[in-house]
Amino acid sequence: MKITFQGHSCFTIEEGGHRIIIDPFLTGNPQAVSGPDDIKVEAVLVTHGHADHLGDAVEIARANNAPVIAPFELVNYCTEKGAEGHPMHIGGGFDFPFGRVKLTIAFHGSTTTDTGAVGSPCGFLVTMGGKSVYHAGDTALFSDMALIGPVDCALLPIGDNFTMGIDDAVKAIALIKPKTVIPMHYNTFELIEQNPEEFKEKLSAFDTRVEVLKPGQSVEI
């Protein structure tokens, strides 16, 4: 499985000829090296309605004839904007042609800039070709993360202020027990400036491999 960091909380995941994107914030993302026109995917997963996650989801879904996969209320928002959608909700899983997606809890908000609240935020547990990836979305640390792992890879926010910071993300690793972790949701904006090398250092005694990726960089897991 190939995971490519697209900046902020956006990742593309490829496995067995399938490709999906999560939280496609590209337009207006100062870290992004790809634009929405560069993205060829069969599904667009969105954790919540905030602009730094919903991003170009509707445009990419429409251009690719790909469904937006998200919590029910957020999918309704996207289908009203002309995208196809596959509504899900917390705790539910579904087998798509590319793999399985299960929605996890996330402690955060979910609003859009034009319509306000769009239900609950989520995280995603994605399984493709026997490999599992947990994208936590924007969330605080919560002890039920222990029920999500172990996973092959965790994508965890470390930016603090709006989400977990480094110390709570280290506690999350102890709960999730991922083989690999990729930090996300830091250094995009001034309020979430963090040093990912500090995260790596604090995990040096753990069995988890830490991959600090620059936007556009990929890792095989």
Count of residues that bind Mn ion according to CB under 5 A: 2
Residue with Cβ nearer Ni ion (50 or 102): 50
CB 25 within 8 A of CB 32: yes
Task: List the one residue out of 123, 126, 135, 137 whose CA is nearest residue 100.
Answer: 126
Binding mask 162-201 for Ni ion (x = CB under 5 A): ----------------------------------------
Joined tokens for residue 87: 């509504």
Please give the Cα distance from 37 to 189 (Å, whole number).
24
- Interacting residues with Ni ion between 142 and 161 (CB under 5 A): none
Binding mask 119-138 for Ni ion (x = CB under 5 A): -------------------x
Please give the Cα distance from 201 to 158 (Å, whole number).
13
Q: Is 138 in the site for Mn ion (CB under 5 A)?
A: yes
Q: Is 23 in the site for Mn ion (CB under 5 A)?
A: no
- Residue 105 CB coordination number (10 Å): 19
Residues in contact with Mn ion by the rule CB under 5 A: 52, 138
**Binding residues for Ni ion (CB under 5 A):** 50, 138
